[in-house]
Every structure is written in C-alpha cells, then in structure tokens.
Structure 1
Amino acid sequence: MERALRVALAFCGILAVLWLALGESSAPSRAAAGAVGALAITSLAWQQRRRAGDASREAEILAQQLVDERQKIEHDFVRLREEYEILEHYFETVMNNIPANLYFKDEDSHFLKVNQGMAESFGCSHPADILGKTDHDFFGPEHADQALADERQILATGKGIEDKVEFENFADGKVGWVLTTKQPFRNRAGEIIGTFGMSSNVTELMETRNTLEKERNMLRSLIDSFPDRIFVRDPGRHYLVVNKAMAEWVGASSPEEMLGKRPDDYFPEALVKSGAREDLNLLATGTPVINREWKLRGQKGERRIVVTTKVPWVDAEGRYLGIVGMDRDVTEERRAKALLEKTEQNLQELMDNSPAVVYMKDVSGRYLMVNRGYEELFGLDRADVLGRTDHDFIADPEAADRFRDSDLKVLEKGKSIQMDERLYVDGEPRWYVSVKFPLFDASGRVHATAGISTDITDRKEAEQAMGQLNEELVLANDNLTRAHEQLIQAEKMESIGRLASGVAHEVKNPLAMIGMGLELLARRIPEDDETGRETLERMKRGIERAKTIIKGLVDFSSARQLERLPVNPNQVIRDSLALVDYELRKGGVKVIEDLADELPEIKMDATKIEQVLVNLLINAMHAMGAGEIVVRSRQGRLVGSGRDEGARTAGHLREGDPVVFIEVEDSGPGIDPENLSKLYDPFFTTKPTGMGTGLGLSVSRKIIELHQGTLDLENREEGGVRATIVLKVT
C-alpha cells in the first residue's frame, strides 16, 4: 500500500511538471498545476524521509527545496490570478462601455460572448440571454443569411470585413443603418476558432449624409438652373464652383473645365486687374460688392451690361475662405426698361391730352397712373395721388366705397363694366359715364384696373329735362284720352237715358191696358180651370216684371234733384239691412256688421242710398247663395282718385279729402275678370233670366255719382267681391 502511494505521488509530480513545461494552458491553470506538483513531490519526500529517517540529510535538503519551489509557485499563482482578474475587468469594462455592439461567435456562428449594449439592442436584458444563439433567432432570413454567409467567408479565407454599412431592422421595430467590422477569432496557436466583430448604429450619420447629399444635389441643380452666372473662388482667385450659365458665358465646355482656373484665363486684362483689386479689398475688409455695373464686349462683339455682386465666404470661425459671386447680364433688361419708359411717356402724353379722366390702379386700389384731367378734377398733383387709394384723399367716404366696390367687381369678373357716377366738384354735382376694365399680365392674370370717365353732366341734365317733358306729355295724353273716353261714356249714358225715357213712355200705357184685360179675363175663367188661372198669374208676373224694368229705366233716366239732408251713414246702413233681412235669412246668408263709431253726418238722399245698399246686398246674395256678408263703415281720407271712365265726380273729390267708406264684402266666387269692365253697362247681367234686369249697378252708380261719390267693385284676394262706396264729408 505504501509503495502504491509513493508511485502515485511521483506520477502526479511528473504530470504537473510536464503540464508546466508544455505551457499551453492559461496562467491560472499553470499555477494550479505547479501547486499540485509541489504538493506531490513534498509528500513523496516526506515519505522517503520517514523511511530513511533522520540520517538522510540529502532528503531533508531536497524537501526544503521542494517547499521553497511550492511557495514560489503559489506566489506566482496568486500574482497571475490577480493579473488575470485585472485583464478580465479591463475586457469587461471595454465590452460594456464601448458605444458599439461587441460579440464573439464560434465556428457555427453561435454567440460566445456579447456586451450589454448588444443585448439591449437585441431586446434582451442580459448578455447571457444571447449566448448559444445565432442571428436567425433575432433577425429575418434576409439579414441573418447574409451575416452567416459573411462569417463563413471569414472562416474560409481568414480575411475580415471592415466598415460595411448595412440596412437593419432593429428589435424595437425601427429601421436604420449600422457600420459593421468582422474579423477571424484565433487561439494562441493562430487557428481560427470563430469570428468576432463590432457594429455601430450610424442611422443618424447616414440620414445626415443623405440629407447633405440631397441638399448638395439640390443646390447644384439650383445654381445650374439660374440664368445668372454664379461662382466661388478661393483667395488665390481660383474657381472652386461655377454653374452652367457661367461656363457657357466664358465659352467653357462644362463647369468642371473651369475648376482650378482663374479669371485671367477668360477675361480681358483690364477687367482682371480691376476685379483683383476689388477681391483683395473684399477679403481685407469684408465689405461686399453689391450690384456693381460694368461693360463687356460679348462673343459676337456686341456691347453687354453686367451687374456683379460679391460677398466673402467664411467658415464657422469667421475666417475668409474665398469669394462667392454672381454676374447678371442686364443688357436686355435695360433695353426693355428704356423702351418701357418711352412707352409710358407716350402713354402719359396721350392720357394728358384726353378730355376724359383716365387713371390706373393696382389690385389693392393704389393709383399707378393718372392724367391731367384727373389732377384738374380733384385739384391734386399726381405726385400726391400715386401710391394712395381713394379713401386717402376723397372727402366723401361713401363715394370712395363705391369706387372701390366697382374696382373689386372688375377684378372678380375679369370683365369691363360701365356705369354712371355722380361726384361733387366745387360743391356742385357732376355726372360722369365711367368705363372700368381689367389689365392682364403675360400669364393672363388681372394685375391692375383702369378707368376712363367722361363728364356727361350737360347730357344728363338734357336727358332729365327731356324725360320730365316726356312724362308730362304722356300724362297730358293720358288725361286727354281719359277725358275723351269720359265724354264718350257720358254721351253713351245720355243716349241710353233718352232711349230709356222713350221706351218707358211708349211701353207704360200698353202694359196698363194689358193689365186691365187680364183682370177682365180673370173674372170669366171658371173656378175649376186651374190651368187658365195659372196662365193668368204668369202673365200678371210678366207685366209686373215689365213695370219693374220700366221703373228702373225711368229712375235711370230721371234728372230730378235729390233731397240731400244730413244723415248718419250707419243709420242708413242699418235701415237697408232691415229691408232685406227676410230675404237674406231665407237665402242662408249671415250678416256681420263692422260699423265705426261716431261717424260724421253726410248730406245724402237716404232713400236713394238705401236703394243702392239693397241692390248690393241682393246681388251679393245671388252671387254666393248661402254664405257670409260683411258690411263695414269707416272714416278716412281719399288716397288716389281711382275713378273709371264716365265718373261725374272727377271735379269734386280731391286727393286728401275727408270721406266715409262703406264696404260690402261677400264670400262668393268673385267676378270673372273679363266682366269687370262691363258691370256698369245698362242691361248687362250675369244672372239667369228672370233674376235681374241688368240696370241695378248702373242705377246705383248714378245715384252715388249724384252724391259726388264713387262706387267700385273689385275681387278680393281671399275670394269674393268687395263693393266700396266713397262719400265726401261736407
């Protein structure tokens, strides 16, 4: 047993020494191997000493040497362990604080070690959550397959990939750009055992670069599209930037051809020297050159006018880096300006010699041009008008508002308008006919308005005088026509009166004889002859009807004087209603009285007025049947004559006379408009045969006219007819 132990200890010591000799392991492993070897040798030595005893001094020395070696090994082990821990700390500090993703992978692209930043960018809380996984566990096939292919290429070739910019979808759903560097991961023997790499988020940098690239391209496009000649020169006057217009101007094939060259290569010596002095002064003082005009012969020998603007080009610290300039050929512009000034001068002269008032305004109403007529009209100098609006110097704000409104109409419609305008000049009203029209620019947009106003006061006054004279002639003609019609109507009525008087006289006596004969026949007809007696009764009724017609004719043609006494109109109305009360109730007519209180008395023939009212009430009942009649009285003043042809009161009633109105309104169907003009003609009636003679309204109107009043019938808007009697208060 003791022998076997010695052999084992010797084997362990030898194995430890061999491990140390190979030197393949890490520092901690080597320290541990040294300690094991020392322990084995020490134990073996003590075994030998115990066997040999105190007599073996050599064994004792050997043991001491082994103990010293062990202590040295232990000391080295502690030192190496401390160095290892320091290096490990340095490595972890770098891994976790560098602003980039650091990682190590094995040959199968499994993660061996990552830093905290990479773990967080992958959506993990700790690097341990990533170890053993691959890119396919965190990214889509497109990105993961490409990363795997790159790593396999590194393993196969041993060459790394540096500064590769990749588009990436991050774990938080955002997208961006990363800058990646990958290298082979080797052991101490130089063998490739995997890959390691570093990636940084350069999204902001890439976006900035892209933005700068876009802005550079935009600036390049902008300066190349400018017709002006743009350039940038360094302090030595070498061209750094030029646009296409500049290259074409000097005859260069492209802007790139001019880069690095100087003005001496393209311009005359005299211009170059003056320009050089100007550039030196600009760089020395920083004073810009603004719109300096100079002349130059063109490529075809023509004289050109050029305007130059130059400013210093400075960096962020304010140091001068060169000059930025722009040359503009204004030859055509100056020619056009001169032509325009000449045209404006001719136009102004033409306007000043026009008898009309001429002016021009911009879209805001500010005056751009006025002629001498305008100055004389308002007593102003054009210098006090140009650039101002009507509200600035026209005393009448309403007139200024009208002028502005008409300008806005022209601007809105884009068409000319014509109107008559009135202005007060020296306190006197003057009339002007004004034509306002739009002015269009080259693109077809309205950019101003213009107006031409001609004084038409004399013509306006003549027109007004002529119009007034024409109105007077028309009125006189109407009065003459009305008088002529009245004479015709009066003559017709007089003829009808004479005819009625003759007819009544000739028919009255025969009717009396026929009546006596009927009385004689009635005595001789037997009592049981009903047919005979009925026939006699019809004959008697026919005679009575004939007598009624004759009486009406006699009354119509009668020229006797009325017995006019002061009477209250309301009393006459009530007496008339009493006379027809039975007839109205039998016909189912309801009468509504709307009589005014305290009406003045009027001189009238009460019996004749009652005859008129009874006639109107009976006519209303016959026109509507069962219904409603309103009888109204009121006091007022006459407004408008409104008399028909033949009215005999034309010289009696006057506008504003105090009158009493008596109105009879029914709820019937109204009067056919075609019959309104025939209502007062004798023998005209719309009633069935046997119900009217056609003389009622004619006689009634004559009675009212004899009272110096009027009788009018009209259809009501709500339906039915309104008869209105107007009697003058005396």
Structure 2
Amino acid sequence: MEEKSDIPSEARDDPARSLRMALAFCGLLGVGILAVGAEHPAIRAAAGSVGALSIVTLSWNLRRKVGVNSREAEILAERLVAECDELEQKLSDVREEHQTLERFFDALMEHVPSSLYFKDIDSRFLKVNQKMSEWFRCGHPSDMLGKTDHDFFDVSHADDALKDEREIIRTGQAIVGKIEHEEFHDGKKGWVLTNKMPFRDQSGRVIGTFGMSSDVTELMETRNTLERERNMLRSLIDSFPDRIFVRDPGRQYLVVNRSMAEWAGAKSPTEMLGRRPEDFFPQRVTGKGMDEDLDLLAGEREVVIREWVMTDADGVDHSVVTTKVPWFDVDGRCVGIVGMDRDVSAERRARAELAETQRRLQEVMDNSPAVVSMKSRTGTYLMVNRGFEEMFGLDRQVVLGKTDEDVLGDKEVAQAFRERDREVLESGEVLPLDERFYVDGHPRWYATVRFPLRDDRGEIYAVGGVSTDVTDRREAEDSMRRLNEDLVKVNQDLQRAQEQLIQAEKMESIGRLASGVAHEVKNPLAMIGMGLELLARKVPEEDETARETIERMKRGIERAKRIVRGLVDFSSARQFKLDPACPNSVVKDALSLVEYQLRKEGVTVVEELGETLPQVQIDLPKLEQVLVNLLINAQQAMEKGGTITVRTYETRLSDVKRDEGLRTRSHLRMNDHVVCIEVLDTGPGIPEENLKKIYDPFFTTKPTGVGTGLGLAVSRKIVELHQGRLELLNREDGQGALARITLNACPPVAGEVHAGEAAS
C-alpha cells in the first residue's frame, strides 16, 4: 500500500517553491520581532536585517518565477527594496540613538560626584562608576563586578545592606535618604547618604537594585560637632549660678537657664519659654525693666547695669545686679535682649562686714598707745592711727597717699625711713630698731618694729610699722632689752599666724575654684556615660574587643568622676567615711586602673607587698585616688620608661615632725604602730628648689596641658583627713623619687587575723 505524504504534490515537484516559503517565513518572523519589540537594540537590528534580506531574496525569486518581463514583480521588488532601505535607515537611527544614550550614561557614571551602582537579584555588582571604585579603594570599576558588600564591609553592615536590598526586590519600594555609617575591612570609616531603588526590565519585572551613595562624612562630623557644642553651651549656662535669659522684642523668653527658672518659681526652663517677666514677677519689679528693654531695643542705650533689691517669699531681701545688652543678628538688626541677674547679697554683706572690720581695727589702732602705720611698696602711706597724727601733728587725710618726703620736713629722716622700708622689702624679715624723733621740739626714743605684709600668694605688698615710746624706760637698758626681745618674738608669732591665715585663705579660694571646676566637668561626664550606655546596646554580643573597650571607657569615666568628687571634697570640710580595709587591696585596685597607661609607656611595675599587714581605717575611693595620682606622677617623671616599685609594710614611728600647719601633729605620734605604702620610681628625682613647693596648688613642672598642679595638694589633704602623712622625697640611692603614705594601723582584735592574711 502506498504511503501518503502531507506535502502537496506541487511543493514536492517544485523545490523553489519550498525555498520561497522559507524565505517568506523568515521575513515575517523578522517583521514580527520588530512589531512586538525586542528589549535590546542589537536584537531589533538583527531581526530587521534578517527580515529585509528574506523579503529581498523572495522578491527576486518571484521575479525569476514570473519572468523578466513581469511588471508586477518589478513593482513589488522596488517596493520591497524601498521598505528594506527604510528599515536599514531606522536601524541606523536606532543604533546611533543607542550609542548616544550609552555615551550619556557613561558620562553620567563617570562624572557624577556620588557612588552609582547596579546589582543583580543576588546583590552582586553589575556595574559601578569610577567614584564608587575609588571609595572602595579598587583600581578599576571592573574589579568590583561580581562581588557583594560582604567583600568590602564587616558582616554586620553587609548583612544590613543585603536585608534592605531583598526588601526592595520583594516590595518594589525604594529606600530614600538613609544615612549609614560605613566601616571597611581596611579600617576606613565614613558616613554616606544612600538612595536605593528597584532595577526593572522593560516588562517592569524587578531584576535587581541600583542606588546612589554620597559621602556626607564632613557634613555628619560638622553636625555632630555643632550638636556637642550646643550641648556644651547648654550645660555651661545651666551650671552657672547667675540667672541668664534671652528675650525677643516682645519680651518673651527665648532662652533661660536652670538658675533663672528656679528663681522665677518655674518647674523647668522650658516652662518659661514664650512667656513674659510679668507672668513670674510683680509689677514693681518688671516696670523698671520694661523701660530699660525699650531703650535697648531702640538703640538709646548700649548696656544696662542696675542694682536693685528683691524680697523673696520668705521675706528676705536680696541685692541683685542686672546686666542687659541688645542682641543683634548677622545683619546688625536688634532682635532681642540678652541679660543676666546676679545675686550679690553675700558680696554686699561681706563688703559691709569688711568695712565694719576695718572700722573696728581702726578704732583699736587709734586707741593703741603705739604709733602704727602701713606703707605701700612705693612708700606711700596706706593707713595711720591717731598716735601717728598726734606725733607729727598731721591729719590722716593729709598723710594718706603721701610719702615720707611729702610728710616730714627733714629729708634726711625721710631718706632713713625709706632705706629701712627697702631693707624690709628686700629681706622679707622683721626689722626691729630704735628710732629718735623730735616731738614738740623734744627728742623722744621709740622702739620700732617694721615688718612685711604679704598677700595670699606670699608676695609682700606693704610694710607695717609699730613704734612705741620708750623714752621713760631708756635708762633701764636691761628691761628695755627684754621688752624688745619679747616684742620681736610677739611680732614673729604674729607673722607666723598671719602667714597661716594667708595660707588658709589661699586654700579656701582654691577650694572654691576646685568646686566650680568640678561642677563644670560633672555634666559632660554624665553625657559621655549615657553615650557609652547607648553604644554598648548596639555592640554585637560576639564583639568581645568592643565590649572590653567600652568597659574600660566606663571605668575611666568612673575614675574621672571620682577625681571630680575629690575636687569637691577638696573644697568641703566634710568627714570621710572611714572603714577598715586591707592596704594591699587598695594598692592592687589602683594598679589595675593605671595598668594600661603604665604598660603603654614602657613602665615595669614591681610589687613588694607585705604578707601579714594589719587593717587601716580608710576611705577606699579617696585613698585609691591618691595612689593613682602618685603612680601617674611616677610614670610621667620617667620619659623613656623605667621601673615603679610599690611597697607596703608595717613599722613603728620614730621620726614624727612637728609642723603647726599640718593635721598630722595631733594624729601621728612617736612609736605609733603604722602601715606605710611607698611608690618608688627610677626617674631623675625632685630638684631641691622644688621640694618646698610641690604641695602648693597649681605648682607644676609639667608642660601646659599635662598637669594642673592640683594632684599633690588634693592627695595631701586626703591623706591628712585619714589622720596620716604623705611625704615626697628623693631616694637615698639617688635613683629617683619616693612617695610614702603613713597611716595608723587598726588595733588588733582578739581572735582576729591580719587583713593581709585574710586576703591571702
């Protein structure tokens, strides 16, 4: 049986017909691709070429089919050729447009100042610009292709970026204006402003992501700096005891500090913002202030300084000094008023008390039988008593401000007085002598004592003189000599008492300064501590190095706080909280605080701690502060490293020195059972000329910015409050300096072991 074929007989008989059908199919396929539109211009160009070639070939086959003389075939061929030319022209235009777009895109990628990148569905880089390769420190953009963020960032940052990109691919939603902190594997850090968007094909399907990152490190650092300065300024004005305020032209408060809010009875500074003085103070107080504000705003006055009295709720009068100035913007326009109210009640009372004290002193001097005077370094009289007026027959108003040459008619006597004053100024010592004056034309002998008067810095600012009429006792030479010796001794005692008072006043002034500085530092320390707490929450659990660093920083802040508290204690008279403790424990705690600093500076620490030491009564944080200060001083004395030896031992006192200016004179006695803590260094030692000044506040031999000169003064006071003694001297072997703390040992209790034994 003959098998039937699906191919028409005419097709089997005519191979050219099959060829024409194939050409027609190719032509239609090319036209179809052009009609639906391919994604890539190169595909469209290839399809157009295939279609055109097929159509041309088919037309010439048809022409041969129908014959050369077929007019219809010629027309059809011409039309197909024209269409082919048109398609080729369109293809050329498309290619040129594609090349133009490619040039535009390349120019954009090359010159845009931000980092541009394209990623595939797996977050691998498809294309990046030169700026991004430079930011990632790659030689060429092609070096980044096929890589991911994990090849450049740490795992945490790379995982966050991958999570964002997967969310964009899932939702099709862009991420705009995200600020990120970037840290690369090579240690480079910075801040970038990131915009990430979905990357779609022509059909709208998300096939990846693309984005742009701009380096905003400088902007972020500037913003952070401004924020820190703003917080610092706010902390500063809030810590001022004076009442600071800023008001707009409508007298509404724009800025007030905490002291102002407390004075006005507001719950917080925020409560006063936008309100006026009339909302907090009575009319009798605000009436005068309103007129002053109007004058300042109108430019009629440049500054207002006024003292007035205000009665508080308890009926107590307060003297207040108000200072106000206009506030100008950058264009020089007055936009408000800046002011400060200072309560000067204590100063006014102190001034009144001082005037009263001077009046009483003048009364005492005027009723003294001696002739008393005081002259400045230049020789002008600062004060005289009634005895001086009667002796020379001059009123004190005529004498004050004048010199001996102006007051005395005898130039030789005046010159002698000046020489004696100069001798006192140069020697700094009391000068006792006998002087003879003519009173009412008769000679009189006076036993005179001239002595220096010193300020709180120990500098001589005046010369005092006390002259006693001894004419009637001149004949009794022995009695006069004894009286003179007694007088010299009394004046020497007065001098020592005066120096002690000056020293006490100096320490009180320094205490007030220390207290103020301490309060200024506490707020920034608290802010840093809160920042560390926030940072600690964001550190991954597995990052042990970061957590250890944060813990060290916390310990450093706690140490700074303890030092601040030490400064406050320096200015206060409160008693320490003393508890029994092992001396070795304090030493080890102090060494742990400075271990890193000593190791960094190449210092070797040798511990020679007694094994069976008795306990001592100490305030643990305060004594630890003293040891830290001594250890740091020892380290700084050794510029190229060295050895610090810390030694503890118990002994019996055999060399108690009597110093009337120290608290230890009533605490440490001969043969006392004591514990000594010594810190020895291998530095150059202490120059002899500095040994007497090392405990003076603000005396330091360190460069500016390294030391304040308060450390040893604070340390000495802490040890004295422990009823102990702090000594700083050079080592006997000449190998450095030695700091020794001596503390009374606790009396042993029956059945109780030593603290050293318990600790061991």
TM-score (norm 2): 0.52
Relative to structure 1, the CA distance from residue 371 to residue 2 in structure 2 (aligned partners, 3 Å threshold; closer, same or farther) is farther
Relative to structure 1, the CA distance from residue 336 to residue 76 in structure 2 (aligned partners, 3 Å threshold; closer, same or farther) is same
Structure 1 residue 163 and structure 2 residue 177: aligned? yes
Aligned to 1:112: 126
Aligned to 1:688: none
Structure 1 residue 220 and structure 2 residue 234: aligned? yes
| Aligned positions of 1:376-415 closer than 5 A | 381-384=399-402, 399=420, 401-407=422-428
Moved more, 419-428 or 60-69: 419-428
Structure 1 residue 88 and structure 2 residue 102: aligned? yes
2:267 counterpart SS class: coil
Q: Which residue among 449, 453, 459 is the counterpart of 1:433?
A: 449
The aligned length equals: 448
* Code of the aligned partner of 1:359: M
1:48 counterpart SS class: helix
Aligned to 2:259: 245
Q: Do 1:394 and 1:400's aligned partners in 2 also have CA atoms closer than 8 Å?
A: no
Percent same amino acid at aligned positions?
A: 51
> Matches of 2:196 and 2:436 in 1, distance apart?
94
Q: Do 1:235 and 1:322's aligned partners in 2 also have CA atoms closer than 8 Å?
A: yes
**In angstroms, what is the RMSD of aligned CA positions?**
4.0
* Code of the aligned partner of 2:329: D
Consecutive unaligned residues in structure 2, runs of 5 or more: 1-14, 405-413, 482-760
Give, in angstroms, the shift of residue 265 of structure 1.
1.4
Relative to structure 1, the CA distance from residue 30 to residue 430 in structure 2 (aligned partners, 3 Å threshold; closer, same or farther) is farther
Consecutive unaligned residues in structure 1, runs of 5 or more: 387-392, 408-416, 470-730
Give, in angstroms, the shift of residue 26 of structure 1.
3.2
Q: Do 2:33 and 2:47's aligned partners in 1 also have CA atoms closer than 8 Å?
A: yes
Give, in angstroms, the shift of residue 177 of structure 1.
2.1
> Matches of 2:76 and 2:360 in 1, distance apart?
132
Aligned to 2:757: none
Structure 1 residues 249-271: Cα deviation after superposition (integer angstroms, max 9, x where no partner): 12111111111112231233455
Structure 1 residues 417-455: Cα deviation after superposition (integer angstroms, max 9, x where no partner): 654358898999986334556566xxxx76877765333
Aligned to 1:205: 219
Aligned to 1:324: 338
Relative to structure 1, the CA distance from residue 466 to residue 299 in structure 2 (aligned partners, 3 Å threshold; closer, same or farther) is closer
Give, in angstroms, the shift of residue 242 of structure 1.
0.9
> Matches of 1:152 and 1:435 in 2, distance apart?
90
Aligned to 1:151: 165
> Matches of 2:34 and 2:101 in 1, distance apart?
22
Give, in angstroms, the shift of residue 464 of structure 1.
12
> Matches of 2:62 and 2:434 in 1, distance apart?
146
Relative to structure 1, the CA distance from residue 404 to residue 69 in structure 2 (aligned partners, 3 Å threshold; closer, same or farther) is farther
Q: Do 1:358 and 1:453's aligned partners in 2 also have CA atoms closer than 8 Å?
A: yes
Aligned to 2:55: 41
Aligned to 2:292: 278
2:339 counterpart SS class: strand
Aligned to 2:12: none
Structure 1 residue 357 and structure 2 residue 372: aligned? yes
Aligned to 1:133: 147
Structure 1 residues 347-380: Cα deviation after superposition (integer angstroms, max 9, x where no partner): 234335542434387xx99989432477989998
Aligned to 1:69: 83
Q: Do 1:351 and 1:358's aligned partners in 2 also have CA atoms closer than 8 Å?
A: no
Q: Do 2:242 and 2:341's aligned partners in 1 also have CA atoms closer than 8 Å?
A: yes
Give, in angstroms, the shift of residue 244 of structure 1.
1.2
Structure 1 residues 319-363: Cα deviation after superposition (integer angstroms, max 9, x where no partner): 3332221122333433332332232233234335542434387xx
Structure 1 residue 454 and structure 2 residue 472: aligned? no
Aligned to 1:662: none
2:109 counterpart SS class: helix
Q: Do 1:170 and 1:176's aligned partners in 2 also have CA atoms closer than 8 Å?
A: no
2:298 counterpart SS class: helix
Q: Do 1:28 and 1:77's aligned partners in 2 also have CA atoms closer than 8 Å?
A: no
Structure 1 residue 293 and structure 2 residue 307: aligned? yes
1:285 counterpart SS class: coil
Give, in angstroms, the shift of residue 114 of structure 1.
0.9
Structure 1 residue 314 and structure 2 residue 328: aligned? yes
| Aligned positions of 1:603-622 closer than 5 A | none
Aligned to 1:176: 190
Give, in angstroms, the shift of residue 116 of structure 1.
0.9
> Matches of 2:275 and 2:343 in 1, distance apart?
22
* Code of the aligned partner of 2:172: G
Aligned to 1:347: 361
Relative to structure 1, the CA distance from residue 67 to residue 378 in structure 2 (aligned partners, 3 Å threshold; closer, same or farther) is farther
Aligned to 2:573: none
| Aligned positions of 1:234-633 closer than 5 A | 234-269=248-283, 271-285=285-299, 287-354=301-368, 355-359=370-374, 369-372=382-385, 381-384=399-402, 399=420, 401-407=422-428, 418-420=430-432, 432-434=448-450, 436=452, 452-455=464-467
> Matches of 1:258 and 1:323 in 2, distance apart?
16
Aligned to 2:116: 102
Relative to structure 1, the CA distance from residue 132 to residue 367 in structure 2 (aligned partners, 3 Å threshold; closer, same or farther) is farther
Q: Do 2:380 and 2:402's aligned partners in 1 also have CA atoms closer than 8 Å?
A: no
Give, in angstroms, the shift of residue 214 of structure 1.
1.5
Q: Do 2:424 and 2:431's aligned partners in 1 also have CA atoms closer than 8 Å?
A: no
> Matches of 1:129 and 1:195 in 2, distance apart?
19
Q: Do 1:185 and 1:192's aligned partners in 2 also have CA atoms closer than 8 Å?
A: yes
* Code of the aligned partner of 1:312: P
> Matches of 1:218 and 1:385 in 2, distance apart?
53
2:156 counterpart SS class: helix
Moved more, 176-185 or 14-23: 176-185
> Matches of 1:280 and 1:31 in 2, distance apart?
82
Structure 1 residues 171-194: Cα deviation after superposition (integer angstroms, max 9, x where no partner): 774423222222222222222211
Relative to structure 1, the CA distance from residue 351 to residue 167 in structure 2 (aligned partners, 3 Å threshold; closer, same or farther) is farther
> Matches of 1:428 and 1:8 in 2, distance apart?
152
Moved more, 394-403 or 182-191: 394-403
1:455 counterpart SS class: strand
1:383 counterpart SS class: coil
* Code of the aligned partner of 1:208: T
Give, in angstroms, the shift of residue 303 of structure 1.
4.1
